[in-house]
């Protein structure tokens, strides 16, 4: 058999083998767990870097026109997942004063016949949710839906039986929409209302087998503490929270890491069975450090960058950004806003951190994706603590090393393929790349980031096979 015949035969056999595989339920738009169980992939096998935004009160606070403006902005800024609550309160109403439930009973969603926006009788709370989800789909955005916020379960407003009926309602209503992800929980420990959370997770999975499910935990905890082995939980999520090192109150928790969100990711990364993990709620931009005291300093764009690069380089499959004003869709007419927001949401969507998040996503997608691993052996010598921590990740032919302070650091070369490596600096503030030079790919080399060492002078050293 000649060479051309062999190539033809291989192509035919490959085509037949591929054709025998069951296609994902939503085709190329499906979200799946990668073969190595570390990352997400779309139905066509392409890498999916989760770049989320917390638009928690989107369904309740924005009308149709405002929701469209918000979603279009997030699309243009590179976000691809919107995290949002279906029920912030039990009961709740939206901006059109439509009630979500009958008599505050989650097992009785308030639905009316028809869904005509011009007919106030025929257009209800859930029709508005449908509108926003469909509008997001038009823009290629996935909606990560929290069925009911954890506070309501903690306050005994939802029991196990109600949760089952409600989860069935949600699953059947949204199982055929391709852009759905389920976030069980909602800023709560899995141990608080465990029977409710298990019921919701199991019921969603039984009635909706084609969407990913996880659990959104309390600040400074990880969903893996309770649900890593749950059959309904497809990936792990942490909430690193909004407190400084000295404000951390989790000293009695199993995991006590303070601001070091990379430690949560590192812990999840070591668990068996292997599952993807992500920081689904780090400190929000422009929110007071510690949340409740509005006289405290506020988290900045530099802080949200740090959490992003730290967690992703530690092995996370993506990252979720948040802004104080945007997460609650703050308007100046609000009588009791939370955490002292300054700008209205329509202004805050253009905060520096929101613009900068796409650079992290672009950086990760510009290199081989599924072979990437965290590798701290790239950092030679003694590493720093807290903000001085230098964190590294690599694939077969590239390495990325992040410093938040821009201090000098040493790199152990030879960890990637090639006799030589091309080095450059990547600026997380602008996404611009500046060349350093080409070096022999062996030994230890010191690198000096641009500018003076200081918090927020963050840089990524990019090493690529020459």
* Complete DSSP assignment for 389-446: -EEEEE-SSEEEEEESS---EEEE--SSSSSEEEEEEE-TTT--EEEEEEEESSSEEE
Cβ within 8 Å of residue 65, ≥6 positions away: none
| 8 lies in some domain | no
Cβ distance 69 to 63 under 8 Å?
Answer: no
| 22 lies in some domain | no
pLDDT value of residue 122 = 83
Cβ distance 218 to 233 under 8 Å?
Answer: no
Same-domain pairing of 433 and 299: no
Same-domain pairing of 346 and 460: no
pLDDT value of residue 396 = 96
The CATH number of the domain where 49 resides is what?
3.20.20.80
Q: Is the peptide bond before 91 cis (omega within 30 degrees of 0)?
A: yes
Same-domain pairing of 86 and 142: yes
- Measure Cα distances from 316 to 261, 279, 291, 299 in Å: 10, 7, 25, 22
Please state, for a pLDDT cut of 70, what percent of the chain lies above it. 94
Whether residue 40 is predicted with pLDDT greater than 50 in this model: the reply is: yes
| 5 lies in some domain | no
pLDDT value of residue 5 = 44
Phi-psi domain of 51 (left: phi exceeds 0; alpha: psi -120 through 50; beta: other): beta
Q: What is the pLDDT of residues 159-213, one digit of tens each?
A: 999 999 999 999 999 999 999 999 999 999 999 999 999 999 999 999 999 999 9
Domain hosting residue 234, numbered range: 27-365
How far apart (Å, rounded) are the C-alpha atoms in residues 211 and 30? Answer: 8
Helices 125-138 + 160-174 axis angle, to 10: 50
Count up the domains in the chain and report the number: 2
Q: What is the DSSP-derived secondary structure letter of residue 93? A: B
Same-domain pairing of 341 and 460: no
| 21 lies in some domain | no
Average pLDDT taken over every residue of the chain: 94
How far apart (Å, rounded) are the C-alpha atoms in residues 330 and 327? Answer: 8
| 402 lies in some domain | yes
Whether residue 81 is predicted with pLDDT greater than 80 in this model: the reply is: yes
Please state, for a pLDDT cut of 90, what percent of the chain lies above it. 90
Whether residue 109 is predicted with pLDDT greater than 70 in this model: the reply is: yes
Reduced to 3 states, what is the DSSP secondary structure of residue 71?
Answer: helix
pLDDT value of residue 9 = 41
Same-domain pairing of 327 and 381: no
The pTM of the full predicted model, rounded to 2 decimals, is: 0.93
pLDDT value of residue 6 = 39
Q: Among 331, 365, 399, where does a domain finish? A: 365
Name the strand (E) or helix (H) holding 28.
none
Same-domain pairing of 278 and 401: no
Same-domain pairing of 157 and 187: yes
The CATH number of the domain where 442 resides is what?
2.60.40
Same-domain pairing of 336 and 412: no
Q: What is the DSSP-derived secondary structure letter of residue 154? A: H
Q: Which two tokens stand for residue 189?
A: 């420990």
| 175 lies in some domain | yes
pLDDT value of residue 42 = 98
Quote the distance between the C-alpha of residue 398 and its chain's center.
24
Q: Among 344, 365, 386, where does a domain finish? A: 365
pLDDT value of residue 211 = 98
- Backbone φ and ψ of 63, nearest 5°: -85, -175
| 394 lies in some domain | yes
Same-domain pairing of 186 and 330: yes
Cβ distance 385 to 259 under 8 Å?
Answer: no
Same-domain pairing of 410 and 349: no
Q: What is the pLDDT of residues 393-403, one digit of tens each?
A: 999 999 999 99
pLDDT value of residue 21 = 55
Compute the average pLDDT of residues 354-373.
Answer: 98
pLDDT value of residue 258 = 86
- Measure Cα distances from 185 to 51, 148, 305 in Å: 20, 7, 26
Whole-angstrom Cα Rg for the chain: 23
Same-domain pairing of 134 and 271: yes
pLDDT value of residue 10 = 36
Q: Among 345, 365, 385, where does a domain finish? A: 365
| 6 lies in some domain | no
Same-domain pairing of 402 and 265: no
């Amino acid at each position: 058999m000649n060479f051309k015949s062999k190539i033809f035969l291989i192509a035919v056999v490959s085509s037949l083998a591929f054709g025998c595989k069951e296609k994902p339920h939503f085709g190329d738009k499906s979200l799946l767990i990668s073969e190595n169980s570390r990352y997400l992939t779309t139905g066509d096998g392409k890498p999916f870097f989760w770049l989320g935004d917390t638009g928690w009160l989107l369904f309740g606070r924005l009308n149709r026109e405002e929701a469209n403006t918000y979603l279009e902005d997030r699309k243009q800024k590179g976000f691809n997942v919107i995290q949002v609550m279906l029920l912030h309160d039990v009961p709740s109403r939206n901006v059109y004063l439509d009630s979500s439930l009958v008599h505050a009973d989650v097992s009785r969603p308030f639905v009316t016949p028809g869904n005509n926006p011009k007919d106030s009788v025929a257009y209800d709370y859930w029709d508005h949710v449908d509108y926003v989800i469909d509008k997001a789909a038009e823009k290629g955005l996935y909606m990560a839906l929290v069925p009911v916020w954890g506070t309501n379960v903690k306050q005994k407003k939802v029991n196990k039986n109600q949760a089952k009926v409600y989860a069935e309602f949600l699953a059947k209503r949204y199982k055929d929409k391709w852009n759905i992800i389920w976030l069980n929980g909602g800023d709560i420990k899995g141990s608080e209302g465990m029977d409710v959370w298990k019921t919701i997770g199991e019921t969603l999975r039984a009635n909706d087998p084609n969407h990913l499910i996880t659990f959104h935990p309390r600040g400074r905890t990880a969903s893996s503490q309770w649900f890593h082995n749950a059959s309904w939980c497809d990936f792990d999520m942490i909430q690193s929270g909004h407190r400084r090192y000295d404000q951390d109150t989790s000293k009695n928790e199993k995991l006590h890491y303070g601001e070091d969100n990379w430690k949560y990711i590192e812990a999840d990364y070591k668990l068996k069975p292997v599952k993807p993990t992500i920081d689904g709620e780090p400190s929000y931009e422009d929110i007071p450090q510690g949340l409740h005291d509005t006289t405290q300093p506020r988290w900045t764009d530099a802080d949200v960058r740090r959490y992003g690069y730290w967690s992703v380089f530690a092995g996370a499959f993506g990252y979720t950004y948040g802004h104080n004003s945007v997460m609650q869709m703050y308007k100046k007419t609000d009588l009791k806003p939370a955490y002292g927001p300054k700008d209205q949401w329509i202004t805050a969507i253009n905060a520096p951190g929101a613009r900068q998040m796409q650079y992290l996503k672009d950086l990760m997608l510009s290199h081989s994706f599924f072979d990437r691993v965290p590798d701290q052996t790239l950092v030679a010598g003694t590493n720093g603590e807290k903000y001085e921590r230098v964190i590294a990740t690599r694939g077969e032919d590239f390495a990325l090393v992040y410093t938040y302070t821009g201090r000098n650091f040493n790199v152990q070369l030879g960890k990637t393929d090639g006799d030589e490596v091309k080095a450059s600096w990547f600026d997380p503030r602008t996404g611009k790349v500046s060349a350093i030079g080409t070096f022999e790919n062996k030994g230890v080399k010191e690198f000096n980031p641009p500018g003076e060492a200081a918090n927020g002078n963050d840089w990524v050293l990019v090493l690529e096979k020459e």
